[in-house]
Structure formats: structure tokens, C-alpha cells
Amino acid sequence: MPEPREAGLLDTSVVIDLGHLDAALLPQRVAICAVTLAELSAGPAATEDRAERARRQDRLQRVEAAFEPIAFGAEAARAYGRVYAAVDAVDAACRRLGTDRECRTRTLPLVGAAPREVLARLEEPTRLVRRYGTEAGRVAELGRRYPRFAGPVAEGVAYTGAEMLFGVLAEGALTVEDLVERRTRTSFVESAVPAAREVAAQVLELATT
């Protein structure tokens, strides 16, 4: 049996089955992402079975007590759970009213989303298209407009300063932590963090002047 890793991020499915897994197979130190907390927060609203809803609520409370989620913020995760429940409530109300309509949130297009054939015709680098879709051109343009941010923010990562700038101008990033830990996930490469934080500070200074 391979030696367990020193540290690891648990997927939502692993957290759900945590009580049934052999602890020897898990990393010595474990953490969860706030996305996992978001999915667990939505869980109670996603079932009509009262017993299962109670189990999911119990699991959510135990996970909240045991873990401090990494990125994008626990409050944002809980907000996701509230939004999920609200969408479900609208759908339920429509069913009771005898209409085939449902919450329009499910069909709202995602910014940057497009059919594959449309994305295939974009001239921007493949990595940007995969990450930003039709918004890739805006990111690339920021790199051309501000050449000092055109390259990677640190050695060993592909994220550029232009992507950080896009994060501020288009995605609402407000702090260095937003840019390093959430918008680019540069914090996953520990050695890249100091340089990335410096670039993030420069980006925020440019965007606010």
C-alpha cells in the first residue's frame, strides 16, 4: 500500500463517505475547499426525504465544526446553499401552481460560455479560451495593453498578471488574497506565492488609480 500523502484536499464525495473510509488511506493532514462546503450546504434542500435531509444537515454541521474551508469564503459557500434552496423553492411553487415553468436561474447563460464550434474559432491561446471562453479576448487585450502583466505571475505557474487584472476589473476581486487564492489559485504552488502576491498588489494599485 502506498504511503499516504502528507496533506491533501478532500473532494465532496470523500467527505460524504468519510466515516466509511480507512483513515490510513487518507493524507495525514486534510482540508476542504469552500466549494465542498457549498455543495454540502445545498444538500439538505436537494432531497424530499426527511430522514435523508436530517442526515445531510447533521453532516453539514459536523463538517463546519471540523474544517476551516479554503477559499472562496465560507459565507459565499453558505450563500450558494441559500440560492440553491431558493431555486428549488421556486420550482416547487411552480409545480403546485400547475405550470411547467421553472426558475429562470437554471437557463441563464454563463458569462463567456458558447458552443464548442464558436470557441474553436477564437484566436486566443487555448488555455485562456478554456478558462474564460469568449471573454478570453478581453484577457489577452489586457496583456497587450499592459505588457508588464502579460507574462506569468511567478515561475512554475501559467497564470498571468493580465488574468489578475481581469479578475479585478471584471470579476470583482478586491484583495491580494482574492487574486492569489481564488481568481488564479496560484496559492496551490507554495513557492510561487511571494511573487504572485507582489504582482497582485501592483494590479490592485493600477486598477484603483
Judge contact between 203 and 164, C-beta under 8 A: yes
Look up the CATH number of the domain holding residue 80.
Answer: 3.40.50.1010
The CA distance from 132 to 170, in Å, is: 11
Predicted structure pTM score: 0.56
Q: What grid cell was written down for 124?
A: 486566443
My answer on whether 74 and 145 are in the same domain is no
Per-residue pLDDT tens for 155-209?
988 999 999 999 899 888 888 988 988 778 788 788 899 999 999 999 999 988 8
Burial state string for 135-153 with b = 16 or more CB within 10 A and e = fewer than 16:
bbebbbebbeeeeebeebb
Residue 30's beta-bridge partner residues?
Answer: 8
Residues 138 and 90 in one domain: no
The total of structural domains in the chain comes to: 2
- Tell me the pLDDT tens digit for each residue of 16-29: 888 887 777 788 88
Residues 70 and 185: their CA atoms lie apart, in Å, by 11
Which residues, in sequence order, are bridge partners of residue 8?
30
Residues 133, 196: one domain? yes
Same domain assignment for residues 24 and 89: yes
Q: Is residue 53 part of a domain?
A: yes
pLDDT at position 1: 43
